[in-house]
Amino acid sequence: MMEQSEISEVGSGNVSGAEVFRSGTEARAELKLLLELMGFEDAKIELFEQEEGEVLLHVESTEAARLIGRGAQVLNALQYVLNRIMYNRDRASAHCIVDVERYRERHRDRLLKEAFDAMERVRRSGRAVRLAPMPAADRRIIHQAVKGHGEVRTYSEEADEEGLKRVVVAPAEEQDGSIEDA
Amino acid sequence: MKDLVEHIARSLVDHPDDVRVTEVDGEKTVVFELRCHPDDLGKVIGKGGKTIGAIRMLLTTAAARQGRRAMLEVVD
Protein backbone atom coordinates (compact mmCIF):
# COMPACT_ATOMS: atom_id res chain seq x y z
CA MET A 1 0.00 0.00 0.00
CA MET A 2 1.19 3.49 -0.84
CA GLU A 3 2.58 5.67 1.87
CA GLN A 4 -0.10 8.04 3.11
CA SER A 5 0.35 11.30 4.88
CA GLU A 6 -2.03 13.65 6.57
CA ILE A 7 -1.93 16.30 9.22
CA SER A 8 -2.56 14.56 12.50
CA GLU A 9 -5.18 16.29 14.60
CA VAL A 10 -4.89 14.27 17.73
CA GLY A 11 -2.59 11.50 18.84
CA SER A 12 0.91 10.86 19.49
CA GLY A 13 4.50 11.38 18.61
CA ASN A 14 6.79 8.77 20.09
CA VAL A 15 4.95 5.50 20.41
CA SER A 16 6.56 2.09 20.04
CA GLY A 17 5.53 -0.31 17.29
CA ALA A 18 3.80 -2.65 19.73
CA GLU A 19 1.86 0.26 21.22
CA VAL A 20 0.81 1.43 17.78
CA PHE A 21 -0.42 -2.06 16.94
CA ARG A 22 -2.36 -2.40 20.19
CA SER A 23 -3.84 1.06 19.75
CA GLY A 24 -4.68 0.29 16.11
CA THR A 25 -6.38 -2.97 17.05
CA GLU A 26 -8.60 -1.15 19.53
CA ALA A 27 -9.41 1.50 16.95
CA ARG A 28 -10.31 -1.19 14.43
CA ALA A 29 -12.79 -2.74 16.90
CA GLU A 30 -14.30 0.69 17.56
CA LEU A 31 -14.61 1.46 13.84
CA LYS A 32 -16.26 -1.93 13.29
CA LEU A 33 -18.79 -1.07 16.01
CA LEU A 34 -19.48 2.39 14.56
CA LEU A 35 -20.09 0.91 11.11
CA GLU A 36 -22.41 -1.75 12.56
CA LEU A 37 -24.39 0.88 14.45
CA MET A 38 -24.70 2.77 11.15
CA GLY A 39 -26.09 -0.37 9.51
CA PHE A 40 -23.01 -1.38 7.51
CA GLU A 41 -22.66 -4.85 8.95
CA ASP A 42 -20.74 -6.26 5.97
CA ALA A 43 -17.71 -3.97 6.41
CA LYS A 44 -14.33 -5.69 6.64
CA ILE A 45 -11.47 -3.71 8.13
CA GLU A 46 -7.76 -4.29 7.62
CA LEU A 47 -5.11 -2.62 9.76
CA PHE A 48 -1.82 -1.28 8.37
CA GLU A 49 0.87 0.45 10.40
CA GLN A 50 2.07 3.63 8.76
CA GLU A 51 5.13 5.77 9.34
CA GLU A 52 5.31 8.11 12.32
CA GLY A 53 3.07 6.06 14.59
CA GLU A 54 -0.01 6.33 12.39
CA VAL A 55 -2.43 3.54 11.66
CA LEU A 56 -4.37 3.01 8.45
CA LEU A 57 -7.74 1.27 8.78
CA HIS A 58 -8.87 0.12 5.37
CA VAL A 59 -12.57 -0.66 4.98
CA GLU A 60 -14.05 -2.94 2.35
CA SER A 61 -17.79 -2.70 1.88
CA THR A 62 -20.37 -3.30 -0.83
CA GLU A 63 -21.65 0.18 0.01
CA ALA A 64 -18.36 2.01 -0.40
CA ALA A 65 -19.86 5.01 -2.23
CA ARG A 66 -22.20 5.73 0.67
CA LEU A 67 -19.37 5.37 3.18
CA ILE A 68 -17.18 7.80 1.26
CA GLY A 69 -19.86 10.41 0.55
CA ARG A 70 -19.72 13.52 -1.60
CA GLY A 71 -16.25 15.00 -1.41
CA ALA A 72 -15.33 12.25 1.12
CA GLN A 73 -17.54 13.97 3.72
CA VAL A 74 -18.69 10.72 5.31
CA LEU A 75 -15.22 9.19 5.24
CA ASN A 76 -13.74 12.27 6.91
CA ALA A 77 -16.52 12.34 9.51
CA LEU A 78 -15.86 8.68 10.33
CA GLN A 79 -12.14 9.32 10.71
CA TYR A 80 -12.72 12.40 12.84
CA VAL A 81 -15.23 10.78 15.20
CA LEU A 82 -13.11 7.64 15.53
CA ASN A 83 -10.01 9.66 16.47
CA ARG A 84 -11.96 11.78 18.97
CA ILE A 85 -13.33 8.64 20.63
CA MET A 86 -9.95 6.89 20.80
CA TYR A 87 -8.26 10.04 22.09
CA ASN A 88 -10.89 10.45 24.81
CA ARG A 89 -10.24 6.88 25.97
CA ASP A 90 -6.46 7.09 25.80
CA ARG A 91 -4.54 10.31 25.22
CA ALA A 92 -1.65 8.28 23.75
CA SER A 93 -3.75 6.62 21.01
CA ALA A 94 -2.16 6.39 17.61
CA HIS A 95 -3.74 8.65 14.99
CA CYS A 96 -5.89 6.66 12.57
CA ILE A 97 -6.45 7.24 8.90
CA VAL A 98 -9.69 5.67 7.71
CA ASP A 99 -9.95 4.72 4.06
CA VAL A 100 -12.65 2.96 2.05
CA GLU A 101 -11.76 0.96 -1.05
CA ARG A 102 -8.50 2.93 -1.42
CA TYR A 103 -10.36 6.18 -1.98
CA ARG A 104 -7.65 8.31 -0.33
CA GLU A 105 -4.89 6.74 -2.37
CA ARG A 106 -6.75 7.26 -5.66
CA HIS A 107 -7.74 10.77 -4.62
CA ARG A 108 -4.13 11.65 -3.83
CA ASP A 109 -3.04 10.41 -7.27
CA ARG A 110 -5.68 12.65 -8.89
CA LEU A 111 -4.44 15.66 -6.91
CA LEU A 112 -0.82 15.01 -7.87
CA LYS A 113 -1.83 14.84 -11.52
CA GLU A 114 -3.72 18.12 -11.15
CA ALA A 115 -0.65 19.74 -9.57
CA PHE A 116 1.70 18.56 -12.32
CA ASP A 117 -0.71 19.55 -15.10
CA ALA A 118 -1.00 23.04 -13.59
CA MET A 119 2.80 23.34 -13.31
CA GLU A 120 3.15 22.37 -16.95
CA ARG A 121 0.62 25.02 -17.99
CA VAL A 122 2.34 27.70 -15.95
CA ARG A 123 5.70 26.82 -17.47
CA ARG A 124 4.33 27.00 -21.01
CA SER A 125 2.16 30.11 -20.69
CA GLY A 126 4.04 32.01 -18.00
CA ARG A 127 0.65 32.76 -16.42
CA ALA A 128 -0.69 31.69 -13.05
CA VAL A 129 -3.34 28.93 -12.85
CA ARG A 130 -6.07 28.83 -10.22
CA LEU A 131 -7.29 25.40 -9.13
CA ALA A 132 -10.77 24.48 -7.89
CA PRO A 133 -11.65 25.13 -4.21
CA MET A 134 -10.58 22.24 -1.98
CA PRO A 135 -10.11 21.35 1.70
CA ALA A 136 -6.85 22.03 3.57
CA ALA A 137 -5.57 18.45 3.44
CA ASP A 138 -5.94 18.45 -0.36
CA ARG A 139 -4.27 21.86 -0.74
CA ARG A 140 -1.37 20.60 1.33
CA ILE A 141 -0.81 17.76 -1.15
CA ILE A 142 -0.75 20.29 -4.03
CA HIS A 143 1.63 22.68 -2.21
CA GLN A 144 4.02 19.83 -1.42
CA ALA A 145 3.91 18.41 -4.94
CA VAL A 146 4.89 21.78 -6.44
CA LYS A 147 7.45 22.68 -3.76
CA GLY A 148 11.06 22.36 -4.86
CA HIS A 149 10.30 23.07 -8.52
CA GLY A 150 12.14 26.39 -8.72
CA GLU A 151 10.29 28.06 -11.56
CA VAL A 152 6.82 27.81 -10.01
CA ARG A 153 5.35 28.59 -6.61
CA THR A 154 1.96 28.10 -4.95
CA TYR A 155 -0.19 30.09 -2.58
CA SER A 156 -3.78 29.86 -1.32
CA GLU A 157 -6.43 32.44 -2.13
CA GLU A 158 -9.04 33.60 0.36
CA ALA A 159 -11.92 31.26 1.11
CA ASP A 160 -15.11 31.23 -0.95
CA GLU A 161 -18.66 31.38 0.50
CA GLU A 162 -18.42 27.75 1.56
CA GLY A 163 -15.17 28.38 3.40
CA LEU A 164 -12.94 26.58 0.90
CA LYS A 165 -9.71 28.13 -0.35
CA ARG A 166 -8.20 27.68 -3.82
CA VAL A 167 -4.58 27.03 -4.64
CA VAL A 168 -2.92 29.24 -7.24
CA VAL A 169 0.07 27.81 -9.08
CA ALA A 170 2.11 30.79 -10.28
CA PRO A 171 5.43 31.57 -11.96
CA ALA A 172 8.13 32.04 -9.31
CA GLU A 173 8.76 35.54 -10.59
CA GLU A 174 5.82 37.91 -10.43
CA GLN A 175 4.20 38.48 -13.82
CA ASP A 176 1.45 40.85 -14.93
CA GLY A 177 -0.91 39.35 -12.36
CA SER A 178 -3.39 37.66 -14.69
CA ILE A 179 -4.63 34.28 -13.47
CA GLU A 180 -6.29 31.56 -15.54
CA ASP A 181 -8.81 29.15 -14.05
CA ALA A 182 -7.83 25.50 -14.40
CA MET B 1 -29.78 5.28 14.82
CA LYS B 2 -30.48 6.21 18.44
CA ASP B 3 -27.88 3.64 19.51
CA LEU B 4 -25.35 5.24 17.19
CA VAL B 5 -25.82 8.74 18.60
CA GLU B 6 -25.84 7.46 22.17
CA HIS B 7 -22.72 5.38 21.69
CA ILE B 8 -20.73 8.19 20.07
CA ALA B 9 -21.82 10.79 22.64
CA ARG B 10 -21.03 8.49 25.60
CA SER B 11 -17.61 7.73 24.12
CA LEU B 12 -16.70 11.41 23.84
CA VAL B 13 -17.71 12.79 27.23
CA ASP B 14 -16.44 12.70 30.83
CA HIS B 15 -19.91 11.91 32.22
CA PRO B 16 -21.32 9.14 30.00
CA ASP B 17 -24.14 8.33 32.44
CA ASP B 18 -25.57 11.80 31.91
CA VAL B 19 -26.02 11.32 28.16
CA ARG B 20 -29.69 11.11 27.13
CA VAL B 21 -30.95 10.74 23.60
CA THR B 22 -34.64 11.02 22.84
CA GLU B 23 -36.28 10.25 19.54
CA VAL B 24 -39.12 12.30 18.08
CA ASP B 25 -40.63 10.52 15.09
CA GLY B 26 -42.08 12.64 12.33
CA GLU B 27 -43.63 11.51 9.06
CA LYS B 28 -40.45 11.47 7.04
CA THR B 29 -37.93 12.87 9.45
CA VAL B 30 -36.85 11.54 12.79
CA VAL B 31 -35.41 14.09 15.20
CA PHE B 32 -32.95 13.11 17.91
CA GLU B 33 -32.43 15.32 20.91
CA LEU B 34 -29.15 14.93 22.71
CA ARG B 35 -28.70 15.98 26.32
CA CYS B 36 -25.52 15.74 28.32
CA HIS B 37 -23.74 17.08 31.40
CA PRO B 38 -23.19 20.85 30.99
CA ASP B 39 -19.40 20.37 31.32
CA ASP B 40 -19.47 18.00 28.33
CA LEU B 41 -21.27 20.29 25.89
CA GLY B 42 -17.99 21.48 24.39
CA LYS B 43 -16.81 17.92 23.85
CA VAL B 44 -19.99 16.95 22.04
CA ILE B 45 -20.14 20.09 19.91
CA GLY B 46 -16.42 20.56 19.24
CA LYS B 47 -14.50 23.57 17.99
CA GLY B 48 -16.68 25.46 15.54
CA GLY B 49 -19.24 22.65 15.73
CA LYS B 50 -16.86 20.22 14.04
CA THR B 51 -17.68 17.24 16.27
CA ILE B 52 -21.46 17.61 16.18
CA GLY B 53 -21.21 18.17 12.41
CA ALA B 54 -19.36 14.87 12.01
CA ILE B 55 -21.88 13.02 14.21
CA ARG B 56 -24.72 14.50 12.10
CA MET B 57 -22.98 13.30 8.94
CA LEU B 58 -22.78 9.73 10.27
CA LEU B 59 -26.39 9.85 11.46
CA THR B 60 -27.58 11.18 8.08
CA THR B 61 -25.70 8.35 6.35
CA ALA B 62 -27.23 5.71 8.63
CA ALA B 63 -30.71 7.18 8.03
CA ALA B 64 -30.26 7.45 4.25
CA ARG B 65 -29.41 3.76 4.15
CA GLN B 66 -32.95 3.11 5.44
CA GLY B 67 -34.43 5.71 3.10
CA ARG B 68 -35.10 8.09 5.98
CA ARG B 69 -34.08 11.56 7.10
CA ALA B 70 -32.67 12.29 10.52
CA MET B 71 -31.85 15.43 12.45
CA LEU B 72 -29.79 15.84 15.58
CA GLU B 73 -30.14 18.67 18.06
CA VAL B 74 -28.16 19.34 21.18
CA VAL B 75 -30.43 20.51 23.99
CA ASP B 76 -28.96 22.37 26.95
The total number of structural domains in chain B stands at 1
Q: Which helix (H) or strand (E) segment is A112 a member of?
A: helix A103-125
CB contact under 8 A, B4 and A34: yes
CB contact under 8 A, A77 and B8: no
- The pLDDT > 70 percentage for chain A reads 90
Chain A touched by B64 (CB under 8 Å): yes
List of residues 6+ apart from A67 with CB closer than 8 A: A35, A40, A43, A59, A61, A74, A75, A78, A100, B61
pTM score above 0.90: no
For residues A17 and A39, give the distance between their C-alpha atoms in angstroms, rounded to a whole number. 33
CB contact under 8 A, B58 and A73: no
Q: What mean pLDDT, rounded, does chain A reach?
A: 88
Fold designation for A4-101: GMP Synthetase; Chain A, domain 3 (3.30.300)
Q: Examine the pLDDT at A39 and tell me if it is beyond 70.
A: yes
Phi/psi of residue A139, each to 5°? -60, -35
Fold designation for A106-181: Ribosomal Protein S8; Chain: A, domain 1 (3.30.1370)
Residue A115's pLDDT is 96
Same fold, A4-101 and A106-181: no
Distance from the A80 Cα atom to the nearest Cα atom in chain B, whole angstroms: 7
Taking CA atoms, what residue in B is nearest to A69?
A: B61
- Give the ipTM of the model, two decimals please: 0.96
